[in-house]
Amino acid sequence: MKLAFSTLGVPGLPLPDVLRLATTHGYHGVELRTHPEEPVHPGLRSAERADVAAEFKGSGVELLGLAGYARVAAPGDDEPVLAEIRALIDLARDLGAPYIRVFPGGDLDVQTPEEADATAARRLGTAAEYANDLGVRILLETHDSHPTAADAMRVLGLVGHRQVGALWDVMHTWLGGEQPSESYAALSPHLGYVQVKDIASAEDTTPLPLGAGVLPLAECVEVLSRHNWDGWLCWEYEKRWYESAADLPGLLGPGREHLGRLLNESA
Tens digit of each residue's pLDDT (9 = 90 or more) over 93-102: 999 999 999 9
Question: Which pLDDT score, from 0 to 100, does residue 181 have?
Answer: 98
Report the distance separating Cα 85 and Cα 82, nearest Å. Answer: 5
* 69 pLDDT above the threshold of 90: yes
Question: Which pLDDT score, from 0 to 100, does residue 212 have?
Answer: 98
Mean pLDDT of 167-182: 98
Question: Which pLDDT score, from 0 to 100, does residue 116 have?
Answer: 98
Mean pLDDT of 19-44: 98
Question: Which pLDDT score, from 0 to 100, does residue 114 have?
Answer: 98
* 267 pLDDT above the threshold of 90: no
Q: What confidence tens digit (pLDDT) does each residue in 190-208 have?
A: 999 999 999 999 999 999 9
